[in-house]
């Protein structure tokens, strides 16, 4: 927006007892991808992918081990998968029967997207996100500032909005980071992040509690970590997940949420060394400029908490993700998460699960929350937004649900921000200048939240 200056942030050189068990098994076996474009049935190029379903019995699931299939969902006793020709051959070799479901899925997709006024409807594109951030900063110049964290692979700016009193001064107050859109297809994550910015800024002069938070702390919001992927998801393949790295092997993309430095490449379960995989971790920790942008921001501020928004599953996840074992700070991490879930429930009646990521959900390594906790000792959460499940994988949130999903997340964000500003100092297990180890620290204790 003309007339508004953005600060470019310095960069370093070159960048959730049986159901749980079944869900864990399915998600370990199959991680989601669907090559779909929201353009029109006539123009749609499905490529070589098919949506198939197969029986969800334990016998069938056990035969899927080692196939690294792309899981879409479990529905009425059947497991839905996005399959390549090679996947179909492997299923046939193992005598696993399946049913082709592509036409039914694609028809539903197009009937829903046709009602939208544009390809992304009420959901923000990259350019729309940029304009929204610039407008917020222009309308609230004393407490909001747009910061350019650097460029994506394709040259798009990765923006953060800093919210704080005396926003242009480098006071380095206790800070909380909120990120959205590590994964391109998870559009709802962008909306929750943007709406939180707007809520804080518009209520600064109206709500004494919010004013006090802005006075005493910093909120940094990066609504779109993966701008190239978001644009590709909107204009080419709706279910695109990764960034747009050309891997040089006729495959594209690195999973940015497997590219962080803590336990990067720990095993082939929580991430993959195969560039074709949807959880491809890249050639090295922080090989991607998008993850580098978050790393560099985090290293320069006094961050005390982090929320990384994703979809779908309706669950709050906390470290560790790379292994099943709890951290020494299980009490603090789980306690804060439970309090957030308790605050979210009354808003719309939706229950968000609370799980240690590696124990109740699926294993991940090199992800944002393990990195923030493992390297800096701060409580870090992945919040998987609604729905718990739906016929098309949970990524198609209705435009009408944007406000309600934000509304139920708002008290959780405010709670964690309040903890960041008021309680975090004595509860943090260690600060960024302390030894980065998981074995020699005493568990932190939970304080009662200040409301």
Catalytic residues: 384
Dihedral angle sign, alpha carbons of residues 183, 184, 187, 190: positive
Buried b (16+ CB within 10 A) or exposed e, 324-354: eebbbbbebbbbbbebbbebbeebeebebbb
DSSP 302-368: -EEEEEEEEESSSEEEES-SSSSSPPTTHHHHHHHHHHHHHHHHHHHSPPPEEEEHHHHS---SS-H
Instruction: Report d(CA 377, CA 436) in Å as an integer.
Output: 8
Phi first, then psi: what are they for 168, rounded to 5°? -85, -5
Instruction: Report d(CA 340, CA 277) in Å as an integer.
Output: 33
Strands 315-318 and 303-311: unpaired
Q: Up-side HSE of residue 389: CA atoms within 13 Å toward CB? A: 10
DSSP 52-113: EEEE--HHHHHHTTTS-BEEEEEETTEEEEEE-HHHHHHHHHTT---EE-HHHHHHHHHHHH
Instruction: Report d(CA 330, CA 383) in Å as an integer.
Output: 17
Nearest C-alpha neighbor of 43 from the set 140, 119, 117, 115: 119
Residues in the chain: 451
- Cβ-in-10-Å burial (0-12, 13-18, 19+) of 433 comes to exposed
């Amino acid at each position: 927006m003309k007339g508004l200056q953005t600060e470019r942030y310095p960069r370093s050189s070159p960048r959730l007892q049986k159901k749980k068990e079944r869900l864990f098994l399915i998600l370990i076996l199959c991680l989601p991808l669907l090559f779909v474009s929201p353009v029109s049935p006539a123009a749609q190029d499905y490529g070589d992918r098919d949506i198939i379903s197969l029986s969800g019995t334990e016998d069938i699931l056990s035969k899927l081990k080692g196939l690294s299939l792309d899981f879409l969902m479990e529905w009425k006793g059947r497991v839905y998968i996005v399959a390549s020709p090679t996947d179909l051959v492997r299923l046939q070799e193992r005598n696993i029967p399946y049913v082709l479901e592509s036409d039914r899925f694609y028809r539903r997709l197009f009937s829903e997207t046709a009602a939208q006024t544009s390809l992304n409807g009420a959901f923000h594109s990259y350019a729309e996100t940029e304009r929204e951030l610039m407008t917020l900063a222009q309308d609230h110049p004393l407490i909001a500032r747009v910061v350019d964290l650097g460029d994506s692979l394709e040259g798009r700016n990765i923006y953060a909005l800093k919210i704080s009193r005396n926003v242009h001064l480098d006071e380095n107050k206790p800070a909380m980071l909120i990120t959205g859109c590590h994964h391109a297809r998870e559009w709802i994550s962008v909306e929750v992040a943007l709406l939180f910015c707007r809520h804080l800024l518009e209520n600064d002069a109206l709500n004494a509690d919010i004013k006090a938070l802005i006075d005493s702390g910093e909120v940094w919001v990066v609504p779109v970590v993966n701008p190239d992927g978001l644009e590709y998801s909107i204009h080419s393949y709706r279910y695109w997940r990764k960034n747009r790295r050309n891997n040089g092997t006729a495959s594209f993309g690195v999973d940015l949420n497997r590219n962080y430095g803590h336990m990067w490449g720990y095993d082939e379960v929580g991430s993959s060394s195969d560039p074709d995989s949807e959880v491809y971790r890249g050639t090295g920790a922080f090989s991607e400029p998008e993850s580098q942008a978050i790393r560099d921001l985090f290293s320069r501020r006094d961050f005390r908490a982090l929320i990384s928004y994703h979809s779908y599953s309706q669950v709050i996840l906390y470290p560790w993700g790379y292994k099943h074992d709890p951290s020494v700070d299980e009490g603090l991490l789980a306690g804060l998460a439970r309090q957030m879930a308790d605050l979210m429930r009354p808003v719309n009646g939706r229950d968000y699960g609370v799980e240690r990521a590696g124990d109740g959900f699926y294993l991940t390594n090199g992800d944002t929350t393990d990195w923030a906790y493992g390297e800096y000792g701060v409580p870090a959460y992945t919040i998987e937004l609604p729905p718990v499940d739906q016929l098309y994988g949970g990524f198609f949130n209705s435009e009408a649900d944007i406000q309600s999903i934000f509304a139920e997340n708002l008290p959780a964000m405010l709670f964690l921000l309040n903890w960041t500003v008021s309680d975090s100092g004595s509860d943090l297990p260690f600060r960024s200048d302390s030894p980065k180890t998981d074995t020699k620290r005493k568990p932190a204790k939970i304080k009662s939240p200040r409301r």
